[in-house]
Amino acid sequence: MSRVICITNQKGGVGKTTTAVNLSASLAVAEKNTLLIDIDPQGNATSGFGVPPKETSPSIYHALIDQIPLKTLLQETELRYLKIIPSNIDLIGAEVELVSFPDRELRLKKALKDLKGDFDFSIIDCPPSLGLLTVNSLTAADSVLIPLQCEYYPMEGLSQLLKTIELIRKNLNPGLDIEGILLTMFDKRNNISHQVSEEVRKHFGPLVFDTVIPRNVRLSESPSFGKPIILYDADSRGAESYLSLAREVLNRGR
């Protein structure tokens, strides 16, 4: 069950990195060998595990540009079954540098062959854009998980993302599936949250995960301590929600 799941949305602030970090941690807690690949120049998934994104240390940038083997970039985390490939600010230049490469959309896919069979799950945290780094991630992935904030504007951007996924299927990765749409930042006191949830489920049906990620103070605090929510507050609603999401991902895989 070796699966590569790309987590992406070109809209920022929808819970993309929070989902990448906490889904990875929850899969690891389920004793699945899991790899988190941070391909966002902001390096938030990297710092979310307490790994300082040092500018001088090797990162995913060096795998994409210099073709350094991914195995040399693996870093341990507090969780036994979870490793991370870090990102740092160097990655900002990769979008420009990759343009001149003839295989520019395939660099990550080729790099991942170095780890074939080593992990049950590889989770890729993309930047909030539809540039070359995201295209590389979608080309390398088996499926794409789309976090969608329960507000109006993120819904507007969903159609553009789906068009991009369709283009990737036609030209680069015909086997790319949609893992699912994940409703995030759900506030049960807010009417718009309920309206968005109903509208998305009406249009996309079984593609939408049953699990909904609530607005949760402990969930928003955990990155500042360099910990996923399962290590920061395992009894919180945020932790329960991401454990539920991991169960759904495991069941969909079966």
Write down the H helix ranges in 107-151.
107-112, 132-140
Q: Percent of the chain, pLDDT > 90?
A: 63
Sheet containing strand 121-125, strands side by side: 75-76, 82-85, 34-38, 121-125, 3-7, 143-149, 177-186, 208-214
Predicted confidence (pLDDT) per residue in 133-179, tens digit: 999 999 999 999 999 988 776 677 788 889 989 999 999 999 999 99
Q: Cβ(249)–Cβ(23) under 8 Å?
A: yes
DSSP string, 185-250: EE-TT-HHHHHHHHHHHHHHGGGEEEEEEEP-HHHHHGGGGT--HHHH-TTSHHHHHHHHHHHHHH
Instruction: Give the strand pairing for 121-125 and 3-7.
Output: parallel
pLDDT attached to residue 152: 72
Q: How is residue 22 written in tokens? A: 């906490």
pLDDT attached to residue 55: 56
In 71-176, where do the E strands start and end?
Answer: 75-76, 82-85, 121-125, 143-149
pLDDT attached to residue 253: 66
Domain 3-253 belongs to what topology?
A: Rossmann fold (3.40.50)
Q: Which residue from 31, 24, 35 is spatially nearest to 245, judged by alpha carbons?
A: 24
Predicted confidence (pLDDT) per residue in 195-238, tens digit: 888 988 998 999 999 999 998 889 999 989 999 999 999 999 99
pLDDT attached to residue 108: 95
Q: Which residue from 240, 218, 208, 23 is spatially nearest to 125, judged by alpha carbons?
A: 23
* pLDDT band at residue 116 using 50, 70 and 90 as cut-offs: confident
